[in-house]
Amino acid sequence: MILSVLVPVFNEALTIERAVRRVRAMEHETQIICVDDASTDGTIEILKRLQGDGLIDVVVLQERNQGKGTAVRTALTHALGEFVVIQDADLEYDPADLPRLLVPLLDGRADAVFGSRFRGETTRVLYYWHSVGNRLLTVFSNMFTNVNLTDMETCYKVFRTDLLKSFPLVSKRFGIEPELTARLAQAGARIYEVPISYSGRTYAEGKKIGWRDGAAALWHIVRANLFDQKAPRYRPPQSVDLR
């Protein structure tokens, strides 16, 4: 198995089935792990049906809402693939981009690959200040980590599974993104960026992250880089081409 896909889910009844089917359409062998964060809109029933149909490998139902970070950490305990990626259930990120993200990992150049929304691919035109906030958070994070990322907050981060499992992750909610970035820098991991498409949602369409989450991210960057337990240095295994 090449890729374990971690899918945190909260009230995504309108998109979760399409997201799962698009991941399954990949040319690579995948393991799909969905962690439902106490949905109330019928998402749970859809997840159970998709698991029964063999489209989802693992479904975990959390009894109370605990946030994206907790869902990612829970899903990671079930990951069996050589590599692992986080896939939001809202389809703002297109699973058709995943094969390109895997290339630097499969050929042994990278330990982690970020999908950047700011490197020239097709992107839905939406909120100006949201994009400014993302870029500022990336710059702030880069100042601590000393890496030159263009999109720290991207959902699409693909890792060697053994690398990700070595991280002492603690974030419960959206702080997981700067924490993952800080841990990669601490581990000395080889990071690549690949352009991806992005189809962001409006708040009317169900977008959940807001300005409060952006403000909180500033603290999460400081916390992950200065106060939390650091990640151990990483030595990648001998590269094996799995294509």
Q: Where are the domains of the chain?
A: 3-227
Structure confidence at residue 134 (pLDDT): 85
Q: Decide which of 129 and 201 is more confident.
A: 129
Confidence at residue 201, expressed as pLDDT on a 0 to 100 scale: 47
CA distance 77 to 165: 8
Q: Identify the three-state secondary structure at position 203.
A: coil
Is CATH 1.20.1290.10 correct for 3-227?
no
Residue 123's pLDDT is: 56
Per-residue pLDDT of 162-178, as tens digits, reads 999 999 999 998 899 99
Q: pLDDT tens across 46-92, in order?
A: 999 999 999 999 999 999 999 999 999 999 999 999 999 999 999 99
Sheet hosting strand 191-195, strand order edge to edge: 58-61, 30-36, 3-9, 83-86, 157-160, 112-116, 191-195
Using the predicted structure, report yes or no on whether residue 233 has a pLDDT greater than 70.
Answer: yes
Quick check: 130 pLDDT over 80? Answer: no
Across the range 227-242, mean pLDDT stands at 82
